[in-house]
Every structure is written in structure tokens, then in C-alpha cells.
Amino acid sequence: MRTGFHLTKRDTISPGKAWAIRLIAVLLSLVVCGLVIMAITKDNPVRVYAALIDGAIGSKNRFWNTIRSMMLLLVVASGLTPAFRMRFWNIGAEGQILVGGVAAAGMMIYFGGSVPNAVLLFAILIISALAGIIWGLIPAFFKAVLNTNETLFTLMLNYVAIQLTNFAIILWETPKGSNSVGVINQASRAGWFPRLFGVNDAMIVILVLVITALVAVYMRYSKQGYEIAVVGESKDTARYVGINVRKVIMRTMMISGGICGMAGAIIVCGASHTISLGITGGRGFTAIIVAWMAHFNAFAMALVSAFLAFMQQGAIQIATQFSLNENASEIITGIILFFLIGSEFFINYKLERTKGGAAQ
């Protein structure tokens, strides 16, 4: 028998220890990022990190960019939470955001200026949520009735949504042939989120925090939230106590898709003011990581979103300052996510020394 190490599953781990492991992972990822950046830029890593912090919170403008980026990630993560708690692998948030965004852009184009802005905004949020609901309900319906695989289904619907967005872009492109919609209602600002309390992004922050809080309360305290948890943990138990599993699947995906659709409107009305394939910024996928890492806890999701947004915004600064292209920021985000997801392994397992094997 050889001596060595082996892995054993942890029975329990205190929250403090779990967060300590995650913190170590973050620190390690920063070290590795520093090494990578140093290898590319041949510059002092301290200067690189200074640039990173400067990029994320160095000015009022940059600070709010980071906050906005965080909020947009957080709202999608909140939208995914009910679906994932139900163990419904909704990886179609990208598509749900896009159809919501298309709906919002269409409303801005067709109704901008003809109704009061408050009414328009309200209608936009409703309609874009409806678009997301449809996009979420389709895979849920087939899952509930025919037990189709929701992972493939939601993934494929992303591509349908992409083509739908392309169609809308061609339909609305200005000027003709530019293949882009351009800023919608630039002069009238109809359908744009208004500036509140002297802050451009105030409405995004308010909307996202309200949605996040509502989702958290719904999941924790409502009967429906409890049903979702039971269905997610054990469909047999749900059947055993008479929960209508099909109904819960469809209802939950309507909520999940609806919030993601509304997130599309928040992005279009609050940030991009146009519709393009780029409005999601990959948030439909990144938010999956946010939700899982945070174990669906609202506060933890806010923290993780903030961290990722901070790193992404900071990396953009590094890219410009050290004349790298924008892929550098994605490399950095990728490294960080690798460490964060990897740390979950060490939260579930521990390395132990194999004993008693020395006698050969």
C-alpha cells in the first residue's frame, strides 16, 4: 500500500470555513491573473491592479458603470433562481433577455412619443415580461407534458431568439443597410429610463433591487416557493403530497422567463437604448454561475455580481491602458470563474492523508 492523499466527502462545513475557502480561491485567482497580465504586458502587476481598481471605481462615471453592470447581472440571476431551485436547467436566459429586449425596442419605436413616458415604460416592462414568459413557457410546457430535455430546449431557443433579433434589427435598421438600429428616440428620450435623484441609473438600481427582494421573499416564504423547492428536491415527494408537478413547472418557468424578459427591457431602456445581439453581454450564462455560486441567496448573489462586475469593468481599463484588446478582460473573468467554481469542489470534499499504509 502506498502512502498518499485521498479525497473524502465532507459531511458538513461551517459557513465561515466555506467562505474562507472561497476567499482563498479569489486571492489565488488574483495572483494567477496578475501573472498572466504580467506575462502579456511585461509590466509591474501592482500597477496592473491599480489600473484595475481605477477602471472599476476610479471615477464617478466608472463607479456607476460598475454598479449598472452588477445590477444587470443580478436581475438575470434572480430570474434564474426559481427555475434552478426547481432543478429546471434553464440555460435559455440569453434568449429570454433578447426577446424581452426586442419587445422593448419595438414598443419604443412604435409608441415612443405617442403616449406619456411613464405609461410607455410601464407598458414596456409588461410586454417584455410577456415575451420572456412565452419564451420560458415553451420549454416548460414540453417538459411538463412530454418530459423533453429542458437543457437542450432552452439552449436551442436562444438561437431562435437570436434570429428573431436579427430579423427585428433588419426591420428597424437606421439608416437602411447599416444593419444596426442605432440609438432609439435619441432626441425625445421616449421609453428611456428617467434620471432620478440626479443619478442616471437610479431606476435600474431600484427595479433590480425590488425584483431581487420579491424573488427572495417568494422563494423563502410563499407556498408556491415551497412547492418549487419540493419539486426541485424530489418529484416523487411532490407527487406523494399531491403537488401538481406539471403546473408548478409551467408556473415557475413563466416567472423565471418573465423576469429575464423584463431584464431585457431594463437593459434596452436603461442602458443600451438600442437593440443588438450584444445587449445580453453573455449575462444569461454568467448569471447561471452567479446564482449557483451564491446558492440562490439574494445577498450572496449581489456580492458575487458586484465582484464580477468590478473585475470586468476593471479589466476593460487594463485593456485600454496596456493596449490589449477586449478579450483580455474575458481571459481575466474566465480565470476568476475557474477558481471560484473550482473552490466549490473543496467545499464539498477534503483532502486527507492516507494513513496506515506505510507497512509494506
Contacting residue, 44, 163, 234, 348, with another protein by CB under 8 A: 234
Categorise residue 27: left if φ over 0, alpha if ψ from -120 to 50, beta otherwise.
Answer: alpha
Q: Is 230 in the site for another protein (CB under 8 A)?
A: yes
Site string for another protein, 337-356 (x = CB under 8 A): ---------------x-xxx
Categorise residue 68: left if φ over 0, alpha if ψ from -120 to 50, beta otherwise.
Answer: alpha
- CA dist 124 and 101 (Å) reads 9
Q: How far is the CB of 352 from another protein (least distance, A)?
A: 7
Contact residues for 210 (Cβ-Cβ < 8 A; gap 6+): none
Among the candidate windows 106-114, 238-246, 278-286, 320-328, which touches another protein by CB under 8 A?
238-246
What is the total count of residues that contact another protein (CB under 8 A)? 33
Q: What's the N-to-C CA distance of the chain in angstroms?
A: 6
Strand partners, 40: none
Q: Is 195 in the site for another protein (CB under 8 A)?
A: no
- 197 or 221: whose CB is closer to another protein? 221
With beta carbons less than 8 A apart as the criterion, state whether 348 and 9 touch.
Answer: yes
- 166 or 244: whose CB is closer to another protein? 244
Q: Is 185 in the site for another protein (CB under 8 A)?
A: no
Near another protein in 10-29, by CB under 8 A: 10-12
- 205 or 229: whose CB is closer to another protein? 229
Near another protein in 243-262, by CB under 8 A: 244
Among the candidate windows 144-152, 201-209, 227-235, 314-322, which touches another protein by CB under 8 A?
227-235
Q: What backbone torsions phi and psi does residue 175 show, to the nearest 5 degrees?
A: -70, 165
- 1 or 187: whose CB is closer to another protein? 1
Q: Is 323 in the site for another protein (CB under 8 A)?
A: no
Contacting residue, 5, 9, 15, 177, with another protein by CB under 8 A: 9
With beta carbons less than 8 A apart as the criterion, state whether 219 and 296 touch.
Answer: yes
Amino acid at the residue 142: F
With beta carbons less than 8 A apart as the criterion, state whether 269 and 122 touch.
Answer: no
Q: How far is the CB of 5 from another protein (least distance, A)?
A: 12
Among the candidate windows 69-77, 148-156, 202-210, 220-228, which touches another protein by CB under 8 A?
220-228
Q: How far is the CB of 148 from another protein (least distance, A)?
A: 18
* Look-up of cell digits 432620478: 196
Contacting residue, 60, 241, 323, 351, with another protein by CB under 8 A: 241
Cell of 317: 481599463
Amino acid at the residue 5: F
b/e per residue 50-75 (b: at least 16 CB within 10 A): bbbeebbbbeeebebbbbbbbbbbbb
With beta carbons less than 8 A apart as the criterion, state whether 169 and 276 touch.
Answer: yes
- 176 or 355: whose CB is closer to another protein? 355
Q: Is 3 in the site for another protein (CB under 8 A)?
A: no
Binding footprint of another protein on the chain (CB under 8 A): 1-2, 6, 8-12, 221-227, 229-230, 233-234, 236-237, 239-242, 244, 352, 354-357, 359-360
